[in-house]
Amino acid sequence: MTESAPTLKDLTSRGLVYAPGVWDGLTARLADQAGFSALCASGFAVSAALGLPDAELYTMTENLNAVRTIRESSKLPLVADIDTGYGNAVNAARTASKFVSAGVQGMFMEDQVSPKSCPICVGEPVDLIDVAEATGKIHAVRDSIPDDVLLIARTDSRGDDAIRRAQAYVEAGADMIMPVTKTFETIEEWERCHQEVGVPLMATLTASTWTERDFTPEVLDRIGVRLALLPTQVLMAATGAAQEALRRLARGEAPAAVSADALSHHDFVNLIGFPEVEAKQRKYLPAESNR
């Protein structure tokens, strides 16, 4: 009998898990091949892939389609960003059910007013819904998804209010709490949050933020983080490389010179899965079809 693969809940119960932000089939395949044990469907990156800022401009269906594409390319445990749940408690419950059907093993939902905004991209403070509404949404989502799917409640509040909200969110059914990079200003505050809410934390090590710089594996263990997202590193690296290649081509540089500094065609063909497709063609198609 084949042993089933560990779920995201299993993995985070055993220790710290890093999950890179992916947004399509290619990035999911690359992260899988790199050796990660879990993935994050980054809302910031999904939005950017549509040419949009992270301001909840895309629809639930567009986000869900991105998640389905990611799942088609990798079977690694996936945590998804469901933003504000796209409405009230009833809307959020339906959203959560749809994402579970798409194969996610964890999801995080925030307490901002919809449409939300990425807190590190806009002026502050961002507007939050009241605690009663937020806990109602968490309760509704918890009741709509299986027990083995991680429900992570994000708060964009600050300081003591963030801890009070986190405690209420755990009472409503959250398995983890996700402070954002601006929720607390020190490692000690993160540690206090973990101690007072009594559940593991999820952290976003967003590129160019203090958490990316200061949250070493030792610090993450100390403050009770079991799931650490790398939501924008791959996006920034890919964007920078594409931007530079396009600038060189637009300036009239020889395409062969630009290609020489990039991944080779042969290597790309291999990583994208052409050998596997050809093997299936040889196995299943008539011989004359493979000529």
Residues marked as catalytic: 54
- How far is the C-alpha of 284 from the C-alpha of 84, rounded, in Å? 46
Secondary structure of residue 224 in the 3-state scheme? coil
Residue among 185, 181, 179 at smallest CA distance from 167: 179
Do 109 and 138 touch, CB atoms closer than 8 A? yes
Euclidean distance between the first and the last CA atom of the chain, given in angstroms as a whole number: 39
- How far is the C-alpha of 237 from the C-alpha of 31, rounded, in Å? 13
Sheet strands (E) in the chain: 17-22, 39-41, 78-81, 106-110, 150-155, 176-179, 201-204, 225-230
At 50, the amino acid letter reads: L
Q: At what angle do helices 274-284 and 265-272 cross, to 10 degrees?
A: 60
Secondary structure of residue 110 in the 3-state scheme? strand
Do 222 and 228 touch, CB atoms closer than 8 A? no
Q: How many CA atoms lie within 13 A of 233 on its CB side?
A: 14
> 17-22 and 39-41: which strand pairing?
parallel
Do 249 and 255 touch, CB atoms closer than 8 A? yes
Paired residues of 78 in beta bridges: 39
Secondary structure of residue 81 in the 3-state scheme? strand
